Amino acid sequence: MRTRFALPLLTLLLVAGPAAAQVKLLNVSYDPTRELYQDFNAAFARYWKAKSGQTVTVQQSHGGSGKQARSVIDGLEADVVTLALAYDVDAVANSGLIPKNWQTRLPNNSAPYTSTIVFLVRKGNPKKIRDWDDLTRPGVAVVTPNPKTSGGARWNYLAAWGYALRKFNNDPAKAQDFVKRIFKNVPVLDTGARGATVTFVERGIGDVLIAWENEALLSVKELGDKGEFQIVAPSLSILAEPPVAVVDKVAAKHKTVQVATAYLQYLYTPEGQEIAAKHYYRPRNKDVAAKYGQQFPKVTLFTIDEAFGGWTRAQKTHFADGGVFDQIYGAGL
C-alpha cells in the first residue's frame, strides 16, 4: 500500500514544489511609471525571495490611466493597479473588483508617492515661460494630452484651473476663459502623458510641455548632456497623488493576495520610497524626502480636495461628457 502511493506522491511533490515557489503578478499602471516599476519590481523580487522563498515575477502593463482602468474592468486580470488618479481606481471599485474602502487600506490614502505638474521648455526658454499666464499668450504652443483619456492631462487641467481660481478670486467664468485660452494654444492633443512627451521631446513640437514632474525631470536627465530642455516650476500647482490598490477578486482567483499586498506595502518602505525618489516621484517618507529634496523644485501645492471637493466632483464637473472641458474644447478651438 505504501509503495502504491509513494510514487504518485513523490511525483506530485516534484511538480507542485517548484510551482508553489513561483508566483506571478500583473501590475496595471499608467503611462510614465514604466521605469519606476522596472526597478521597483526587481527590488521587490529580491525582498520577497529573501522573506518567503518564493520567486515573484511582476509583469507590467502601461497606458492612459482611464483606459487601463477600463481594461481591468473589462477583464484584464490585474493583481494590482497603480494608476494616475483615485477616480480611475474608484471606477474599478465600482465594478466590484475592489472594495469601496480601498483608499483606507494603505497609508496616505493609498498613495505611496506624490508628484506635481510643471513645465518643460526648450533650452534657454526662448518664449520666456514662467507661469501659467504665459501659456495663454498668443503664439505660445502648448503640449498637453487629452484630459478625456489621460489621467496626467486631468492633473494638468486642474492645476491650471486652480491657478486661475486663485488669480481671479474664485470666479469660475474667468477661470474657464483662462483654461480655454491655454487649450487654444494646444496644436496636438495626445491621448496619454507619454505620447505628449514624445510630441514635445522627440517630434520637436511646441514651446512648452505641461508634464508630470517626474516625466519632466526624466526628460531633462536623459537629454541632460545636450541641455536641450529645462524645467520651469509654476508659482502654484496641484499635489498629484497616484494611488495603488490590490484588485481583490483577481488576486483571490490567482491566490496572490498575500504577495500583492506585500508588493504595495513595500512601496512605503525606505527602500521603496528611495526607488520612487530616484525616479523623481516625491516620497512620503520624511527622511527620504529630505535626502532627495534638492531635486524637486519648490512649488506651492494645493490638493484636489481643497480646490475641487475631490475627484468625483471634479470628474463630474469638468471631464464627464458635456462637462466644462467639452464646452471648452468643443467650442471651436
Beta-bridged to residue 55, according to DSSP, are 22
Q: How far is the CB of 230 from another protein (least distance, A)?
A: 15
Q: Which is nearer to another protein, 167 or 249 (CB)?
A: 167
Q: Which is nearer to another protein, 51 or 316 (CB)?
A: 316
Q: How far is the CB of 83 from another protein (least distance, A)?
A: 19
- Among candidates 202, 229, 222, which has minimal Cα distance to 35? 222
Angstrom distance (rounded) from CA 36 to CA 81: 14
Q: Which is nearer to another protein, 36 or 117 (CB)?
A: 117
Q: Are 240 and 281 in contact (CB under 8 A)?
A: no
Torsion angle in degrees (nearest 10) through CA of 196, 199, 205, 208: 30
Q: Provide the binding-site residues for another protein, judged by CB under 8 A.
A: 130-131, 133-134, 136-139, 141, 162-163, 165-167, 170, 187-188, 190-191, 195, 199, 203-205, 233, 235-236, 297-302, 305-309
Q: How far is the CB of 204 from another protein (least distance, A)?
A: 6
Q: Which is nearer to another protein, 268 or 311 (CB)?
A: 311
Q: Which is nearer to another protein, 229 or 302 (CB)?
A: 302
Q: How far is the CB of 298 from another protein (least distance, A)?
A: 6
Q: How far is the CB of 79 from another protein (least distance, A)?
A: 22
